Structures are given as C-alpha cells and as structure tokens.
Amino acid sequence: MAIEGFEKGQKIWVHNTDGSASPAIFVGEGENATFFGGPPLCYVVMEETKEGGEVQLDRVTARE
C-alpha cells in the first residue's frame, strides 16, 4: 500500500531533530496514529542498523 507517495521498499531519508538525515527503507503506514489524534506515522527500517521503528511521516522524504 502506498501512502503520501511512498511505496513499500522505497529508499527514504528520515530527518532527525539535529538537522541530519539517516538512510532508511519505507515499510508501510503506521497504525492507529490519526485515529487517536496523533500525527501520521510510518514504519521504516534504518539501513545502517537494520532496526525497524515508527517515525512521524512528516520526517520522511524520498531518496533518489
């Protein structure tokens, strides 16, 4: 499923609060975030650590 123009397996940047960006892979849409009034979330796998997690969708941009 694609959301906000992202597709599963797409290479992305996750922007950090310090202004840096980390390479990651988009996995899919986060669940229940907007239902409970929170920001939209997505699941990613960080390329450097191979760890997965949820991040706010507005911290993610496409990588070419």
64 residues of the chain, pLDDT tens digit each: 445 689 999 999 999 999 999 999 999 988 765 567 778 889 999 999 999 999 999 999 999 8
CB 23 within 8 A of CB 48: yes
User: Beta-strand (E) ranges in 16-51?
Assistant: 21-29, 41-46
- State CA 10 to chain mean position distance: 10
